[in-house]
Amino acid sequence: MSYRVLVISHMYPNEVNPMSGIFVHNECKALQQQGVNIKVLSPIPCFPLYPKWQGYRQMTLEVEREGIPVTYVPTRMFPGGFFFFTYGELYLKALIPAIKKIQSDFPFDLLHCHTIFPDGYAGGKLKQIFHVPVVSTIHGSDIMLYPKRNRATYNKTVQALEMVDQVVTVSQRLLTEATKMFPQVTGETIYNGFDPERFTPIDQQEARKSLQLPENKKILLFVGNLYPVKGVPFLLQAFGKIAAKDANLHLYLIGDGPLRPTLNRLVRELGITNQVSFMGRRPYDEIPLWINSADLLALSSLSEGLPSILLESMGCAKPMVATNVGGISEVLQDGQTGLLVEPRHVEQLAGAFQRLLIDEPKLLSEMGRKAYQASQTLTWFQHATRMKQLYQQLLSMKAT
């Protein structure tokens, strides 16, 4: 049986940020390949004359991305995340007319929202209007950080947990946190996946040649947004402690964000300008080359759900040094497929980098091989298979 699922996610690739919510898009593609009919509604920021959001005002609102029809829904939001606790109602207000417009052509069986607040909150309200089951995936910050902003956001998150039919978390840690907030929540952990055809081992020198990178450097790679939650200042400070010990060490950072000017200044202050390169956002199709060109990946986050880059690096047979936050320790086997360190701990980060890049570099290939083996149970196909079963269970319950 084929299901029609309407996905609601403010995190979705768009013209302004092509990497936004790429994991949601990858899930949608995997589900569609298994016969689930998918359509996406993605709220995008709308605020009069705000210059940083000008790009959203110029976007094409109806697109198809790799076979997935996407409608971007201009939604009132406030710069700087002000009045964030109102976003659930603002999403709802924008989504109702958008859904009514598409409903005759796409009579959906189920709503799948990404983030419990604001998207899942809006989905819980939409359930009362359109009378379909609602699934909400919790990705990390929506349960670990947003509820801590203020009491109003906390209460709205609890309300969302109560309204939706099923919560899916990308790590067991997130399910534990959701259960603390609302003990009666119906939830299950389904790990995100990766595409093993795209993220697969290739020759390191060939990858470097394609990217015009130096052949003889020891490359440490970071891939992610330059946001405070990614802990990049700690990464730079740690790299600064070992950079002088080996002139061949080089750190490449893929991604962009509001912290970039601050991070550029920090690099200059640390005296490591010649060994650090900010590459900005790169096309998603290029990321496998970057991973394969690296010797080691780094993730210095202060909070996470289950980061896609961890699974993708494992698929490319590359080890990672990562902070022990969110669900990372559920997948990264410390000492086997990489090394875990505590968040904000510069000395531990530096020690892990030194061990793998300077003191015991032979561990890199051994850990990479084990990472590749572990990755093979974490593909998007396996993820979508379980998600489709979950849809079936919810729809069967509705029919009885």
Confidence of residue 399 (pLDDT cuts 50, 70, 90): low
Mean of pLDDT values over 188-192: 95
pLDDT at residue 400 tops 70: no
- In the chain, what are the domain boundaries? 4-193+379-399, 204-375
- Are the C-beta atoms of residues 107 and 4 closer than 8 Å to each other? yes
pTM: predicted TM-score of the whole model, two decimal places: 0.89
In the CATH scheme, what is the code of domain 4-193+379-399? 3.40.50.2000
Cα radius of gyration (the chain):
21
Confidence of residue 2 (pLDDT cuts 50, 70, 90): confident
Task: Name the CATH architecture for the domain at 204-375.
Answer: 3-Layer(aba) Sandwich (3.40)
pLDDT at residue 253 tops 90: yes
Confidence of residue 295 (pLDDT cuts 50, 70, 90): very high
Q: Same fold for the domain at 4-193+379-399 and the one at 204-375? A: yes
pLDDT in tens, 296-326: 999 999 999 899 999 999 999 999 999 999 8
pLDDT in tens, 42-91: 999 999 888 889 999 999 999 999 999 999 999 999 998 899 999 999 99
pLDDT at residue 398 tops 80: no
